[in-house]
Structure 1
């Protein structure tokens, strides 16, 4: 039983790392859009977010998984540099 849990946990960690790496692939980003505006998202790894420049909304990435839920988006003020 312990071995199965350990294997599942290791697989989850690997998939999280893989997904973060996948976000750096432009062809993947071509398919991800802002759930509010439907405009393209920009991956900002140093901030750990996906950012929609058109409406200035930032979506968090938690454990390597983008949270593209409108209520999770944060409106970024114009004076905050992105």
Structure 2
């Protein structure tokens, strides 16, 4: 299984909360919404883009 996300797909994904682009954090295996300050987990290669599953990041 690949540890990266398809760049074509990443360009099209947006944060469900803010509708802003997401960035891929390979180390955390998450898609990060800098605008919302949250990270959506990637589980078994599938991005879980549910606001209730996201975790807060930063300060």
TM-score of the two chains, using structure 2 as the length reference? 0.85
Structure 1 ranges of 4+ moved more than 2 A: none
| 3-state SS of paired residue (2:9) | helix
Flag the structure with larger Rg: 1
RMSD: 1.5
Which residue does 2:53 correspond to in 1? 72
Higher strand share: 2
Higher helix share: 1
State the number of aligned residues: 59
Higher relative contact order (CA 8 A, sep 6+): 2
Structure 2: gaps (5+ residues): none
- Residues 57-79 of structure 1, C-alpha deviations (whole Å, 9 max, x = no match): 1000000100001100111132x
